[in-house]
Amino acid sequence: MNFEAVKSIYISEMARTRRTIMQSVISPVISTVLYFVVFGAAIGSRITEVDGVSYGAFIVPGLIMLSLMTQSLSNASFGIYFPRFTGTIFEVLSAPVSFFEITVAYVGAAATKSILVGLIILITANFFVDIEIQHPFWMAAFFILTAVTFALLGFIIGIWADNFEKLQFVPLLIVTPLAFLGGSFYSINMLPEIWQKVTLINPVVYLISGFRWSFYGQADVSLWLSLFATMLFLGGSLAIVHWIFKTGYRLKP
Amino acid sequence: MAPILSVRDLEKTYEGGFQALKSVSLDIQEGEVFALLGPNGAGKTTLISTICGLVRPTSGSIYVGGHDALKEYRAARQLIGLVPQEMPTAPFEIVGDTVALSRGLFGLRPDPARVESILKDLTLWEKRSNPIMALSGGMKRRLLVAKALAHEPKILFLDEPTAGVDVELRHDMWRIVGELKDRGVTIILTTHYIEEAEEMADRVGVINKGEIILVEEKAELMRKLGRKLLTLSLTEPISAIPGGLSGYQLTLENDGTCLTYTYDTHAERTGITSLLTDLSKEGVRFHDLQTDQSSLEDIFVGLVRQEQETS
C-alpha cells in the first residue's frame, strides 16, 4: 500500500479547496441561509409543525443532506475530471499507485470537503432553530456513508464525462431533482397517497429519512430500510468504480 | 549486462481497430541515451505510454530493471520518470507543491532539501511559490522535468523535449540531459532535430507505422547514411550539364540556374576539389555556393520511403 501517494493526492486535493475557499465552503453556507430565510422563516411560519417538529428544525437534516449530496458529487467529479481535462492525470496513472489508492485519495478528499460543508451548515442552522440529535452515532453513520457514496458517484461521473456539459448533467438534471423530491423540505406523509408510493422509487428518500430519524426519531420509512438502501447505493457505486479500473474505461486506452 | 529496459513483441491495437504497435522489440542498456525517431502517428508516444503504464498493451511483455511492467508495476514504475510531449500542468497549483506531490506519488517521504536541489538544478527555485500558470512555456517544460525527477528515477522518458522551444531552451535541455547522463540516468527521447540526436544520442531507433525498422549506433548510422548536398548558384543559366561533368552526380535545377552535387561526407574522397576544377574547365561559373547536410530526419524519411517501395 502506497500511503505516501494517497496522502500526497489527498493533501493536493485539499489544497485546491483552500485555494477556492469561497466556492467550496462559503457559497453553500450562503445558499443554506437563503433556504432558511425562504423556507424556514417566510413559508415555514405558515406551517406549524411536521411530525411534531417545528418546520424550521424539520428541514435542517434535509438541507444538510441536500448539500452533502450535491457537494460530494461536484467535488469528486471535478476533482478527477479536471486532471483528465488538463492531462495531469498521466502522472497519477504512471506512478506506482493502485486504482484502489487513487479512489481512496480522490473520494476521501471529496467526502472530507462535503462533510466539512455539512458540519458548517449544521452549525449555521443552530443559530436559526433549536436542533436536537437523538441518535448521534446513526447521524454520523448516515452523514459519512452519504458523503462517501455520493463522492464515489461523482468520481464515476468525473471519469465518464468527456466535456463540461456532461459533468453538469447528472448533478443538475438527476440528483438535484431527486434530492428536492426526496423529502428535503417535506415529509412524504404530506403528499397525496399515490405520490407517497411513487416517491418510494426515489433512492434519496431513504437517505433523508434515515438521517432525519437520527435527529428527531421521526422517519418516513424504517431505519433498516434506510440503511439497506444506503449500503445498496454504496455497493453499486463501488462495483462501477471496480469495473472502470478493471477495464481502464476512459482512463487507460 | 542485462538491459535496464526490455520490450518483447509488444503489440497495441486500440479499440477502434487501429494497430499502433506491431511486434515491437527493443533493448535499452543502462546509462545510454536512446533517440527514437518517427513521423507523426508512427507509434512513438504509444510505445512510451505503454512502457510507462498509461496504455494497456494488447500483447507482449515489458521488463523494467527486470520487473514485469504489468505484474510488478510498482517496482517497474518506481524506476521510470516521464516528461510527456504536451505540457499538462494544473494551472493553479504551486510550483514547489507540485514537485512535492510528484515525489509523494512514488511513495517517497517528503524531502524539502531534495525538492530544493531539483528546483535549483532546473533554475526554478525563484518560482517555487508561484502558481504554475505564471510560468513561461520554457519554465513549464523545465518544471515537468523537475516533476519527473522528483523520485530520482533510473530511466527518464522525454517525449519531444524540444518541440517548439527556442534555441536557448533547447541548449538548456541538452545541458540537462548531459548532466543526467553523467549521473548514470538512462534517457529515452523522441526528437526531430538532427543536432539533438547527434548531440545527445548514443543510439538511434527509427519507428514507422508501429514497427521498429532500424536500431543503430548513432555514429554508424550517420556514417552509413550521411549525405551532403553542394548547391552552386550559377552566374549564367545553362541548358544541360556539360559532357565533361558526366562523371559526377549532378542535377540541374531552377531553369538551369542551380547545380546540385550529392556526396558522401564520410567517403575518403568527396570529389569536391576535382568537381570545382572541372567546372572551371567547362567554363561554368558560379556566384555562390552552399552545402547542406542530410538530417537524421532526411535519413529517416529516406528509410521510410524505402520501406514503402519494397512493400
Same domain, B219 and B236: no
Question: Interhelix angle for B112-121 vs B95-105, to 10°?
Answer: 120
Task: Give the Cα separation of B106 and B114 in Å (integer).
Answer: 14
With cell 477556492, the residue in question is A20
What CA dihedral angle connects A26, A27, A32 and A37, to 10 degrees? 100
Half-sphere exposure of A233 (CA within 13 A, CB side): 24
pLDDT (0 to 100) of residue B300 = 67
A vs B: CB pairs below 8 A: 83
User: What would the mean pLDDT of B263-288 be, rounded to a whole number?
Assistant: 80
Evaluate whether residue A137 is within a structural domain. Answer: yes
Q: What percent of chain B has pLDDT over 90?
A: 45
pLDDT (0 to 100) of residue A155 = 94
Same domain, B65 and B103: yes
pLDDT (0 to 100) of residue B161 = 84
Task: Domain count for chain B, please give it.
Answer: 2
CATH of residue B204's domain is 3.40.50.300
Same domain, B204 and B251: no
pLDDT band at B295 (very low <50, low <70, confident <90, very high): low
User: What would the mean pLDDT of A159-167 be, rounded to a whole number?
Assistant: 90
Query: Which residues 234-273 of B have a C-beta within 8 angstroms of A?
Result: none
Evaluate whether residue B121 is within a structural domain. Answer: yes
Which domain, by its residues, includes B285? 227-293
Evaluate whether residue B236 is within a structural domain. Answer: yes
Evaluate whether residue A252 is within a structural domain. Answer: no
Evaluate whether residue B96 is within a structural domain. Answer: yes
Task: Report residue A170 as a C-alpha cell.
Answer: 447528472
Instruction: Examine the pLDDT at B297 and tell me if it is beyond 70.
Output: no
User: What would the mean pLDDT of A112-128 be, rounded to a whole number?
Assistant: 89
pLDDT digits over B202-251, tens only? 998 988 889 998 888 887 777 666 677 888 888 888 888 887 887 787 88
Question: Are B77 and A96 within 8 A, CB to CB?
Answer: yes
Same domain, B200 and B258: no
Instruction: Examine the pLDDT at A44 and tell me if it is beyond 80.
Output: no
Evaluate whether residue B307 is within a structural domain. Answer: no
| Phi, psi torsion values for B27, nearest 5 degrees | -120, 135
Among B53-62, B101-110, B287-296, the minimum mean pLDDT is found in B287-296
pLDDT band at A132 (very low <50, low <70, confident <90, very high): confident
| Phi, psi torsion values for B206, nearest 5 degrees | -115, 130
Task: Give the Cα separation of A54 and A50 in Å (integer).
Answer: 6
Chain B interface includes A23 (CB < 8 A): no
Which domain, by its residues, includes A85? 3-247
pLDDT band at A111 (very low <50, low <70, confident <90, very high): very high
Same domain, B159 and B286: no
Task: Give the Cα separation of A95 and B35 in Å (integer).
Answer: 23
pLDDT digits over A182-204, tens only? 888 888 888 888 888 888 888 88
pLDDT (0 to 100) of residue B108 = 93
Same domain, B209 and B242: no
Same domain, B196 and B256: no
Name the more confident of B309 and B47.
B47
- Whether pTM > 0.80 for this model: the answer is yes
CATH of residue B279's domain is 3.30.70.1560
Among A103-117, A141-155, B9-23, B237-251, the minimum mean pLDDT is found in B237-251
In this structure, which long-range contacts are made by residues A41-45, counting pairs with CB atoms below 8 Å and at least 24 apart in sequence?
A: none
Task: Domain count for chain A, please give it.
Answer: 1
ipTM: 0.85
Question: Are A96 and B100 within 8 A, CB to CB?
Answer: no
Q: What is the DSSP string of B11-75?
A: EEE-TTS-EEEEEEEEEE-TT-EEEEE--TTSSHHHHHHHHHTSS--SEEEEEETTEETTTTHHH
Cβ-nearest to A92 among B55, B89, B105: B105
Task: Give the Cα separation of B141 and B251 in Å (integer).
Answer: 44
Instruction: Examine the pLDDT at A173 and tell me if it is beyond 90.
Output: no
Same domain, B145 and B188: yes
User: What would the mean pLDDT of A105-131 be, rounded to a whole number?
Assistant: 90
Same domain, B161 and B21: yes
Query: Which residues 179-198 of A have a C-beta within 8 angstroms of B?
Result: none
Same domain, B26 and B46: yes
Using an 8 Å CB-CB cutoff, list chain B residues near A91.
82, 102, 105, 147
Q: What percent of chain A has pLDDT over 90?
A: 43
Half-sphere exposure of B261 (CA within 13 A, CB side): 22
pLDDT digits over B41-76, tens only? 889 999 999 999 999 999 999 999 999 999 999 999
Average pLDDT, chain B: 86
Question: Are A93 and B100 within 8 A, CB to CB?
Answer: no
Evaluate whether residue B137 is within a structural domain. Answer: yes
User: What would the mean pLDDT of B282-286 be, rounded to a whole number?
Assistant: 84
Residue B11 burial (CB count, 10 A): 16
Query: Which residues 28-87 of B have a C-beta within 8 angstroms of A?
Result: 52-56, 73-75, 77-78, 80, 82, 84, 86
With cell 522525454, the residue in question is B158
Evaluate whether residue B51 is within a structural domain. Answer: yes
pLDDT (0 to 100) of residue A148 = 95
For B42-80, give one letter per residue: b (16+ CB within 10 A) or e. Answer: bbbbbbbbbbbbbbebeebebbbbebebeebbeebbbbb
Half-sphere exposure of B254 (CA within 13 A, CB side): 11
Task: Report residue A210 as a C-alpha cell.
Answer: 434515515
Instruction: Examine the pLDDT at A214 and tell me if it is beyond 90.
Output: yes
